[in-house]
Structure 1
Amino acid sequence: MALSLLNCPPKPAKWIPDNVWLNINAVSQIHAFESLVDQVMSNDKRWRRWYDKEAPEEEVFPFNYDVDLSPFERLILIRTWCPDRVVRQAKKYISETLGYAFAEENLLDLEETYADSTAKTPIMNLLTVGADPTLLIERLAKRLQV
């Protein structure tokens, strides 16, 4: 069954966007977030103060979620409430779990990347909005005749 506003409890406040309310209800199926719907319904003002911050992903979560959540669960909570902040939080998650070098924003050196790859080690690019390396890849392929 698809999740829709018809299957969810009524939103406790109009300020909560419909997509966010659907997200909250969906993640409440995960153990770490099983009380999230009840917490929002009983204290939406506390969540709104956090939600309205300039960079909520950098703020302390309501209800001690900062203490209780793993870095990946923090990413889930940011995705739930602030889909527009996911890229920033994903970079933070990658940096915390894999190391800063994996989250650096640097220009892609495709020739070096290609030289380091093999048929068994594919090249993977994680792109942000607006990033499109297609032209660079096509130029390299043409130059290397691959």
Structure 2
Amino acid sequence: KDALLEDASAFKNWYDMEAPEECKFPVEACNDLSPLERLCVVRVLRPDRCFNAARLFVAEQMGDQFLQPPLVNYQRVFEQSSPLSPTIFILSPGADPQADIQALACDLGFELKFVSLGQGQGPVAMQTLDEGKRHGHWVLLQ
């Protein structure tokens, strides 16, 4: 708190930066903070940058490998699945398993139907699911 009051204009410049979590604090005393304390300061002063600061914290403290989503073995997912329950993939931004699922369906001899979900697509999705259930097709709702 004292460091913030010591040079408020310098902290204002830091606050106004696009990615302040990547920069040193403007007051030298603050640069002696532990990485966790730095993260807490960013959380208090720039909550909009907390996600990025947390990613930086994890990368610095644990390594980049902890920021990467795990690789999915779709064959193993299939082996552990059942025709009586859906398989649901909850995706992170930028992830798109469509090509991998399509390749697995082809390798295993299943027909794969795609339905893009959006306004008014509910009846289409239900009809495609019913057809898939009757004929043994896979249905990918996107």
Query: Which TM-score bucket, shorter chain as reference?
Result: 0.3 to 0.5
- Higher alpha-carbon Rg: 2
Q: So what's the TM-score if we normalise by structure 1?
A: 0.45
Between Structure 1 and Structure 2, the one with more strand by share is 2
